[in-house]
């Protein structure tokens, strides 16, 4: 398959890059960190979204080297910003992990090595795992516990789209849920989405988890989330995912969020 060959070479040829999107405190409007989102600058197709190649990377196993590269890149960038940009020394970086990455045999050693190599303090790294992965594998929960022992927190990504049973959810060693953007985008138009967000908020409260809302695009969405005591948000209202140079410029002239 041509795409597979291309993707295999993309890492060596440095065609992959990491974009960063701010995660903002809804309580204070302060920047709290970033989500790292991989992109592929394809020589013919231009900027390709991970939605287009992560599934292939998972099928072929390329996700293991790709994921390791993203993790290293993101930790290294976060540490550089902490060192060089005033006010960034407590910001954290969130990195998406696919199921296959989480369940690979040497993940813990790999994460440890990357943290040592980049000198990023583990407390500033957060791993994002989708709900379906956690729901399907007890092993995943065990690994997250070990990561927590290492000082690395995790969150459940795309929450509300999977099927975690409530009885299992409280056993996940996780301190944050990310509300899937599909609920946020519908919240002004559809009562049900509002009810789902309300339910997620009260669930998170009883499990002592914080919540990040994704895909926040309007002031109305933000206000509704604030009124429900949602702690964090990310979305185009604050900033699109940006390449590191552009994010750096934004950090140096932070808008009033
Ligand atoms: O940035 P964008 O909305 O195009 O991302 C699409 C999807 O790709 C999202 O579900 C996101 O979680 C996923 N994604 C982005 N970067 C990474 C990555 O580095 N690793 C994995 N496993 N998924 C990623
Ligand atoms: O699955 P995950 O949550 O990791 O993916 C986040 C995806 O959502 C990224 O691909 C990112 O580009 C996209 N995204 C981030 N903010 C917004 C937003 O406000 N609106 C929309 N439509 N997409 C967003
Ligand atoms: Mn994510
Ligand atoms: Na998500």
Q: What is the average per-residue pLDDT within 231-256?
A: 97
Least confident span in 28-37, 167-176, 212-221: 167-176
Domains and CATH numbers, the chain: 2-252 (3.20.20.450)
* Residue 164: band (very low, low, confident or very high) from pLDDT cuts 50, 70, 90: confident
Residue ranges of E strands in the chain: 16-25, 31-42, 46-48, 92-96, 125-130, 153-159, 176-179, 210-213, 232-233, 242-243
Q: What is the ipTM of this complex?
A: 0.96
* Residue 71: band (very low, low, confident or very high) from pLDDT cuts 50, 70, 90: very high
Residue pLDDT, tens place only, 247-256: 999 999 999 9
Distance 206 CA to ligand 2 centre (A): 27
Distance 92 CA to ligand 4 centre (A): 17
- Ligand 1 contact, 98 CB (< 6 A): yes
* Residue 228: band (very low, low, confident or very high) from pLDDT cuts 50, 70, 90: very high
Q: To test the ligand 1 pocket, which listed residue (10, 64, 96) has its Cβ within 8 A of the most ligand atoms?
A: 96
- pTM attached to this predicted model: 0.97
DSSP string, 209-232: -EEEE----SHHHHHHHHHTT--E
Residue pLDDT, tens place only, 188-197: 999 999 999 9
């Amino acid at each position: 398959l041509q795409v597979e060959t291309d993707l295999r070479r993309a890492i060596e040829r440095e065609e992959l890059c990491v974009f960063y999107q701010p995660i903002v405190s809804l309580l204070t409007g302060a920047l709290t960190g970033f989500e790292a989102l991989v992109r592929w600058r394809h020589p013919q197709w231009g900027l390709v979204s991970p939605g287009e190649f992560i599934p292939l990377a998972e099928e072929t196993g390329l996700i293991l080297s790709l994921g390791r590269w993203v993790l290293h890149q993101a930790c290294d960038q976060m540490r550089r910003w902490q060192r060089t940009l005033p006010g960034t020394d407590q910001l954290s970086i969130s990195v998406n992990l696919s199921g296959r990455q989480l369940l690979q045999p040497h993940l813990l050693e790999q994460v440890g090595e990357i943290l040592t190599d980049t000198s990023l303090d583990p407390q500033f790294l957060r791993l994002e795992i989708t709900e379906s992965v956690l729901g399907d594998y007890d092993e995943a929960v065990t690994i997250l516990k070990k990561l927590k022992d290492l000082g690395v927190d995790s969150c459940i990504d795309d929450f509300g789209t999977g099927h975690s049973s409530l009885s299992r959810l409280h056993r996940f060693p996780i301190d944050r849920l990310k509300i899937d953007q599909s609920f946020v985008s519908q919240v002004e138009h559809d009562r049900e989405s509002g009810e789902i967000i309300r339910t997620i908020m009260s669930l998170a409260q009883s499990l002592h988890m914080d919540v990040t809302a994704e895909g926040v695009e309007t002031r109305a969405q933000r206000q509704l989330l604030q009124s429900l005591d949602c702690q964090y948000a990310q979305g185009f209202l604050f900033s699109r995912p940006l390449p590191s140079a552009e994010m750096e410029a934004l950090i140096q002239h932070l808008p009033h969020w």
